[in-house]
Amino acid sequence: MALDRWIALIFVAFCCIYGYAAFFTMDHLLPPFMQRNPVWPSTFPKMLAVLGAVVGLIVLLGIEQTDDSAEPGATDINYRNLREYKLGQATVLLGLMVAYALLLRPAGFLLATTVFLVAGSAVLGERKLHVMIPVALIATGAVWYLVQEVLGIFLRPFPFFLGN
C-alpha cells in the first residue's frame, strides 16, 4: 500500500475516534435548556468527523486517482525518497505548536503568540529579525484585539504573575 493510503488510514482512524467523542461523549453534559437548541457545541465537531472520514476514505479507496500506471509527479509523496523531504523542519514546527499550546496560559497570549510566530518563521527560513518581530507583534496584537474587544472573548494577554 502506498504512503498516501497509509496516511489516509491513520486519518480515517483519527476521524472515527474524534467522531465517537463528538457523537457519544459531548452531548450528555449539556444543561437542559441547551438540549432543545438546533445547533449544539458538538455540531461542528460532528461535521468535521464525518467530512474527514469521507475524504480519508476517498483517498484510502483510491477514488481520486485517475491513472495508477503513471510515474509519480513532482508533487506526489514518494516514500522511496522520504529522506529528501524536510522532516526536521516539520518536526520542529510540531514541537513549537505543542510548546505554544502548553505556554499559552502561563505566558499569556501576547508573549506566547509572538514567540511562536518569530520562532516558526525562523524555522521556515526567514532570517530578517527586523521584519519578523514587527510583523509578529502587529499580527498578535491585531488578533488579540479582535478576539478580546470585538468578539468579547477573554484572552489573558500577559503572563499569570502580572495579574489580569
Give the tens place of pLDDT for each residue, 46-85: 899 999 999 999 888 877 766 555 666 666 666 666 677 7
- Does this model's pTM top 0.85? My answer is no
Give the tens place of pLDDT for each residue, 74-109: 666 666 666 777 778 888 999 999 999 999 888 888
Give the tens place of pLDDT for each residue, 110-156: 999 999 999 999 998 888 889 999 999 999 999 989 888 887 777 77
Residue with cell 484572552: 155
At 158 the pLDDT is 77
Q: Taking CA 131 as the corner, what is the angle to CA 150 and CA 105, rounded to the nearest 5 degrees?
A: 45
Distance in angstroms (rounded) separating the CA atoms of residues 137 and 28: 41
Residue type, 148: Q
Give the domain ranges of the chain: 3-84, 87-162
Instruction: Tell me which of 5 and 161 has the higher pLDDT.
Output: 5
**Contact in structure between 116 and 96 (CB atoms under 8 Å):** yes
Give the tens place of pLDDT for each residue, 2-14: 778 888 899 999 9
**Contact in structure between 113 and 162 (CB atoms under 8 Å):** no
Region of 71 (left: φ > 0; alpha: ψ -120 to 50; beta: rest) is: beta
Residue 28: closest CA among 42, 47, 11, 15: 42
- 39 φ/ψ angles, rounded to the nearest 5 degrees: -120, 125
Give the tens place of pLDDT for each residue, 17-28: 999 888 888 777
